[in-house]
Structure 1
């Protein structure tokens, strides 16, 4: 089976025409949601880490 660059390029162009690209607004909203969820997860895990750390310090009476 031989590689045919021109046929490949035509098929890629055809497939690219079929792609439904998001609008600028959809991209911005999705990006904002990703940043918001990442921030919420970071805050959540920070709080949980602080609570667990406090519990360990109280349990072993270290650093209080």
Structure 2
């Protein structure tokens, strides 16, 4: 495996970074909003699932009394 010096490494990093297609500001904002919405929906889903399982376990444990 060939070793590269620090200057060659930085040159390669700069060359690879130039190939990156960066998202526009609008794309970044839209994607961020979608991630926030999905996180809120997922948290609501898991809250409801947790409440349902909690209720179910409570009902099962009360059968023994």
Q: Which category of TM-score, normalised to the shorter sequence, fits these structures?
A: 0.7 to 0.9
CA-CA distance at 1:3 after TM superposition: 3.3
Provide Cα deviations, 1:2-51, integer angstroms capped at 9, x if missing partner. Answer: 43222222111111111000011111111111111111111101101111
1:32 aligns with 2:33: yes
By relative contact order (CA 8 Å, sep 6+), the higher-ranking structure is: 1
Structure 1 gap ranges (5+): none
Task: Please give the TM-score of this superposition, normalised by the length of structure 2.
Answer: 0.79
Query: What is the number of residues matched between the two proteins?
Result: 62
Structure 2 gap ranges (5+): none
Superposition CA RMSD, Å = 1.7
SS of the residue corresponding to residue 50 of structure 2 reads helix
Task: Please give the TM-score of this superposition, normalised by the length of structure 1.
Answer: 0.80
